[in-house]
Amino acid sequence: MAAPSMKERQACWGARDEYWKCLDENTEDVSKCKKLRSSFESSCPQQWIKYFDKRRDYLKFKEKFEAGEFQPSKTSAES
Amino acid sequence: MLLLALAPRAWLRLPQLKRLVCPRTLGGDSLRMRCQLLSRQGPAETGKQGQPQGPGLRTRLLITALFGAGLGGAWLAARAKKEQWRQQRRTEALRQAAVGQGDFSLLDHRGQARCKADFRGQWVLMYFGFTHCPDICPDELEKLVQVVQQLEAEPGLPLVQPIFITVDPERDSVEAMARYVQDFHPRLLGLTGSAEQIAQASHNYRVYYSAGPKDEDQDYIVDHSIAIYLLNPDGLFTDYYGRARSAEQIADSVRHHMATFRSVLP
């Protein structure tokens, strides 16, 4: 399987960005963005979809972390 | 002693201080000299007192100054010599590194064999990645190409050779590399090879890479360290740039290295 060309990469990234924008607007509600999700899945290799999903998870986690939503547990704070 | 030299006249009025200031019990040349200065009280005035003239204040100062200068000069010379020796040692070590280190033996995207010596005389910006990379490699290569283009636009600067080396020799054949590099820059050179050759090249540049698990259509992602390496015209590894550096910052750094470069090879 040949690697995606620059055009294919850009199509994939565009679809991903649309999908992510939809998620941002709908507070991560996947059911509201089904169409964009299937468009995303058809534009990108499967490995890339898995990779971008993980990346999204990580970016959201990082946002929460930087906003201070995670507090150290009592035990770790005392140790 | 300097104070005394600057204000000999003051002491003219206090000859009796001599006995208080210069107790004979304390030895030391400096004290003795000070005593002699005090007792001199200027060459013009001593004639009346009938004391032996000897070398005047100015002569003593001159001798001391010359001696001090001599010592200082000797110290500076010794320091310069040591610095020179250190530089020679370093140049020798760099010369050995230029030839022995960071070598690779790979195929470019036209099927020609290439090794590090082929790039002697050129500045090289090198990036390790793979063609099936989702986003990082294209981004970093775009950045690398922007750096090359910024420097190309400046007259008087040598051309920088951009190189892309694969960490996925299993899939990145010569043809795959040729298809990939054409999207970025006409001078971007893709290098690939056998698994052993790639392992050797990556080892020489301390590049970590690890192919991930394959999915149903045999696709996989290669986890790898991300850095753009700068090699100078001697083939020596000179600097590296991570993801956080922008194209402008990298271009600035390369410009600086170019300006301060001095070859160690004959």
Average pLDDT over residues B117-136: 94
Q: How far is CA B207 from CA B102, B108, B140, in A?
A: 11, 19, 15
Residue in the structure block whose two tokens are 């200068």: B69
pLDDT of residue B27: 45
Mean residue pLDDT of chain B comes to 84
Angle (CA) A41 A47 A49, round 5° = 35
Cβ burial, residue B156 (10 Å; 0-12/13-18/19+): exposed
For residue A2, give the chain B residue with the closest CA: B176
Average pLDDT over residues B202-228: 91
Which tens digit of pLDDT belongs to each residue from A9-68? 999 999 999 999 999 998 888 888 999 999 999 999 999 999 999 999 999 999 888 888
Pairing of strands B209-211, B228-231: unpaired
Cβ of B215 and A50 within 8 Å?
Answer: yes
Pairing of strands B189-192, B209-211: unpaired
Q: At A79, is the pLDDT very low, low, confident or very high (cuts 50, 70, 90)?
A: low
**Rounded distance between C-alpha atoms, residue B38 and residue B33, angstroms:** 9
Q: At B53, is the pLDDT very low, low, confident or very high (cuts 50, 70, 90)?
A: low
pLDDT of residue B33: 54
Average pLDDT over residues B229-253: 92
Residue B231 β-bridge partners: B124, B237
Cβ of B183 and A51 within 8 Å?
Answer: no
Cβ of A45 and B132 within 8 Å?
Answer: yes
B179 contacts in chain A (CB < 8 Å): 2-3, 5
pLDDT of residue A45: 92
**pLDDT: which is higher, B264 or B241:** B241
pLDDT of residue B22: 47
B171 contacts in chain A (CB < 8 Å): 3
**Rounded distance between C-alpha atoms, residue B128 and residue B151, angstroms:** 21
B145 contacts in chain A (CB < 8 Å): none
A15 contacts in chain B (CB < 8 Å): none
**Rounded distance between C-alpha atoms, residue B151 and residue B247, angstroms:** 11
For residue B219, give the chain A residue with the closest CA: A47
Q: Is residue A23 within 8 Å of residue A33, measured between CB atoms?
A: yes
- Torsion sign, CA atoms B140, B145, B150, B152: positive
Residue B239 β-bridge partners: B230
**pTM beyond 0.80:** no
Average pLDDT over residues B125-136: 95
Mean residue pLDDT of chain A comes to 87
Distance in Å, alpha carbon of B190 to nearest chain A alpha carbon: 15
Distance in Å, alpha carbon of A45 to nearest chain B alpha carbon: 8
**pLDDT: which is higher, B28 or B12:** B12
Residues in contact with B5: Cβ distance below 8 Å, sequence separation at least 6, in sequence order: B37, B57, B61
Q: Which of A1, A5, A13 sits opposite B183 (nearest CB)?
A: A5
- A with B: how many residue pairs have Cβ under 8 Å apart? 38
Which tens digit of pLDDT belongs to each residue from B77-112? 999 999 999 988 888 887 777 766 888 999 999 999
Cβ of A3 and B179 within 8 Å?
Answer: yes
Cβ of A3 and B220 within 8 Å?
Answer: no
The string over A36-50, giving b where at least 16 C-beta atoms fall within 10 Å of a residue's C-beta and e elsewhere, is: bbebbeebbbebbbb
